Chain A
Amino acid sequence: MTVQELPGAAAYRPTPPPAWKPITDPAPLLPDPEPYRVLGTDAVADVDPELLLRLHAELVRGRRYNAQATALTKQGRLAVYPSSTGQEACEIAAALVLEERDWLFPSYRDTLAAVARGLDPVEALTLLRGDRHTGYDPREHRIAPLCTPLATQLPHAVGLAHAARLKGDDVVALAMVGDGGTSEGDFHEALNFAAVWKAPVVFFVQNNGFAISVPLAKQTAAPSLAHKAVGYGMPGRLVDGNDAAAVHQVLSEAVARARRGEGPTLVEAVTYRMEAHTNADDATRYRVDSEVEAWKAHDPVRLLERELTERGLLDDTGIEQAKEAAERMAAALRDRMNADPELAPMDLFTHVYAEQTSQLREQATALRAELDAEQDHDEHGPEAGR
């Protein structure tokens, strides 16, 4: 028996394959040698002051959120928290450039981006609190689940953006990844797919200098992470990740380009992780204080505050107001997180399959009995039911 016997095999004459066009001049794809900046440059004159003020308020709130969440780990209210302090400009810009219909694909560090996009601050923490994996409906907020396995959410962003385009929907996906994550195979496969499919995706690398303890120099030999774009046939952009206005502008352009149907962009934001990898990590083992101090001078909140105050757009009262708003948010978060979450052990079995298998039904029955016995014991003491 051979395949020739199958129907249609002889009849189908394929259309000639599309010609592969080599890019003779990669220059338009290449990132500029220096990260793009707006704050403190002439370019800032073109930025809407309202946007700068909004970015400022969000950055202040974001920083407070990070501090509050880290404090919650110390009180045992969160299992773990990977802080994005120092990276708030990236987080906030990522959230603010997207339209409601667009999708955000965050990594585990990007809680702040999800919150800035409008997700309930408590729902955004359910994964890190440990009561549920994803505390929200991704479709409702158009935020994919915070992704723990590195870079694996990037092909999802490509597939989703591709599907949206096939359906004729004007939707862009913005996918976030760390510098370490760019070494993963999924990063490369996602970029290649996106470029070949011309999918409306923006890949956003937050290069914060370290992957846990491993510095960028041990991660890659590339001139920059943005340079990686060229090999896939998409533009790479390098931006100062602590300059909120610059990140917002570069991401906005990339999103607009995707929306126009011109395909994906890789944006690398050069930033710095001011805290340890997570609350569980000891950063003194792999980095020196002088480096951290140097980056403090380039703090995203301070950069923006300096710009706004120098231009007379923000005064001490304004700064105070932003801080107070952030305090209110933190207090509310603290209060709500101090309540024990209601856990439903039987939920263990409810969302494995659409319909429980007989195996799961048996296990659910067994757990139900254990729980009943526990409750009996709690209510009536050890002699109950004997």
Chain B
Amino acid sequence: MTTAAVTADGRPVKAKPATMAQALGRALRDSMAEDPTVHVLGEDVGTLGGVFRITDGLAEEFGDDRCTDTPLAEAGILGAAVGMAMYGLRPVVEMQFDAFAYPAFEQLMSHVAKMRNRTGGAMPLPITVRVPYGGGIGGVEHHSDSSEAYYMATPGLHVVTPATVDDAYGLLRESIASDDPVVFLEPKRLYWSKADWSPEAPAAVEPIGRAVVRRPGRSATLITYGPSLPVCMEAAEAALAEGWDLEVVDLRSLVPFDDETVAASVRRTGRAVVVHESPGFGGPGGEIAARITERCFHHLEAPVLRVAGFDIPYPPPMLERHHLPGVDRVLDAVARLQWEADS
């Protein structure tokens, strides 16, 4: 999948360590440079460059009209973006934090998600709503929600979440280019995760809607996305000591959902654990487990298990490590798959 790193004029480029935050910022910049209809708007996105600095430098390079500090009103921001999209622009909205996107829910549910449908296809809305989400950064309350289930439950929205630096760049570029609205969930605690990456020749990535096997394995499949991918990768390494060879599937996109890749993996391994941070009850894991059961019942050696955050409001930072699914909880679940060693 990763292409050889060369610049546009064919010179080899050396990939250097880059953070997910940098790749996201670069994706915004490149999209804006390529397409003059791309506009970024949100709270503090201009002069400050966003509280996570994702939009750093955009106002300077493209001007206030294309990277706009808006009044502090999430419904207003997204509502204005709807109107801008109706007039042919491609707005990219930054919601400052997951829990502060809630005031904009009505615009998202009633208009962003439905405009294409309401108008019989006449008026699609190419809006990208970027939402930093999830915990693990020691944020006080209202700064660490995992809101993906709400978005997933709303037909008309794409729901995308990267877990790698390559995907951060590639999926955001695609989201902005998409003619449908995309809720682009940015795992906060991976903002500063690094990988070798070259902005001049970013790797080609799988398009929105495809899951990717991050690590092949035979014993069971861990199905995950966003902030929990590194946890699952670490768990898979640790599991080798127990003789378990775990496959890890990174969903990358919750809507559309890649039933095919997930089902193919589970049919190979016969066992599955879904891992995510958001509360388990009513969470994505239940939906995913049901889909797997419907498709792979006869291949399953054990019930599909879920490892999720507790069904509690997001806990205070000093307790969040107990809430977030870690490697041990993943391995415990794997053990509960009624192992028959190497049978």
Q: Which residues of A contact B (CB under 8 A)?
A: 1, 3, 5-9, 11-12, 14, 17, 132-134, 136-140, 144-145, 149, 152, 154-164, 166-167, 173, 185-186, 189-190, 192-193, 196, 347, 350-354, 357-359
Contacts and interface: CB of A to CB of B under 8 A. Distances in A.
Contacts of A155: 75-76, 78-80, 82-83, 107
A192 B155 CA distance: 30
Nearest to B155: A352
A351 B120 contact: yes
Given A14-B47, A152-B110, A163-B89, A3 B83 contact: no
B86 A12 contact: no
A162 B57 contact: no
Interface in B107-160: 107, 110-111, 114-124, 155-156, 158
Contacts of B78: 155
Contacts of B80: 155-156, 158-159, 162, 193
A164 B87 CA distance: 7
Contacts of A12: 47, 49, 56-57, 60
18 contacts: A133-B118, A140-B122, A145-B115, A159-B82, A160-B83, A160-B87, A162-B83, A163-B83, A166-B89, A186-B106, A189-B76, A192-B71, A351-B119, A353-B158, A353-B256, A354-B124, A358-B259, A359-B256
A9 B85 CA distance: 30
B155 A185 contact: no
Contact of A152 (B53, B81, B107, B124): B107
A156 B82 CA distance: 5
Contacts of B124: 354
Contact of B56 (A9, A140, A160, A351): A9
Nearest to B118: A133
Contacts of B260: 358
A3 B53 contact: yes
A141 to B, nearest CB: 10
A351 to B, nearest CB: 4
Interface centre among B19, B87, B257, B258 (most CB of A within 10 A): B87
Nearest to A133: B118
A8 B259 CA distance: 41
Nearest to A186: B75
B53 A154 contact: no
B180 A186 contact: no
A192 B76 contact: yes
B48 to A, nearest CB: 8
B155 to A, nearest CB: 6
A139 B119 CA distance: 10
B70 to A, nearest CB: 7
Interface centre among A7, A9, A196 (most CB of B within 10 A): A7
A12 B22 CA distance: 16
Contacts of A1: 19, 192, 194
A354 B179 contact: yes
Contacts of B122: 134, 136-140
Contacts of A161: 83
Nearest to A5: B19
Given A137-B119, A162-B80, A358-B256, A167 B87 contact: yes
A151 to B, nearest CB: 9
B221 to A, nearest CB: 19
Given A137-B119, A137-B122, A159-B86, A190 B76 contact: yes
A167 B37 CA distance: 9
B209 interface: yes
Contacts of B116: 351-354
Given A152-B110, A158-B83, A159-B84, A192 B73 contact: yes
Contacts of A158: 76, 79-80, 83
Interface centre among B21, B114, B117 (most CB of A within 10 A): B117
Given A189-B73, A354-B178, 18 more contacts: A3-B52, A6-B21, A11-B57, A134-B118, A145-B115, A145-B123, A149-B110, A154-B79, A157-B83, A159-B84, A159-B85, A159-B87, A159-B91, A160-B86, A160-B87, A162-B80, A189-B79, A351-B120
A14 B69 CA distance: 13
Contacts of B12: none
B32 to A, nearest CB: 14
Given A12-B56, A152-B107, A159 B65 contact: no
Contacts of B121: 350-351
A11 B81 CA distance: 30
A17 B81 CA distance: 24
B54 to A, nearest CB: 9
Contacts of A132: 120
A40 to B, nearest CB: 39
B117 A133 contact: yes
Interface string B21-52: 11001000000000000010000000101001
A357 B257 contact: yes
A163 B123 contact: no
Interface in B205-219: 209
Contact of A156 (B83, B88, B114, B179): B83
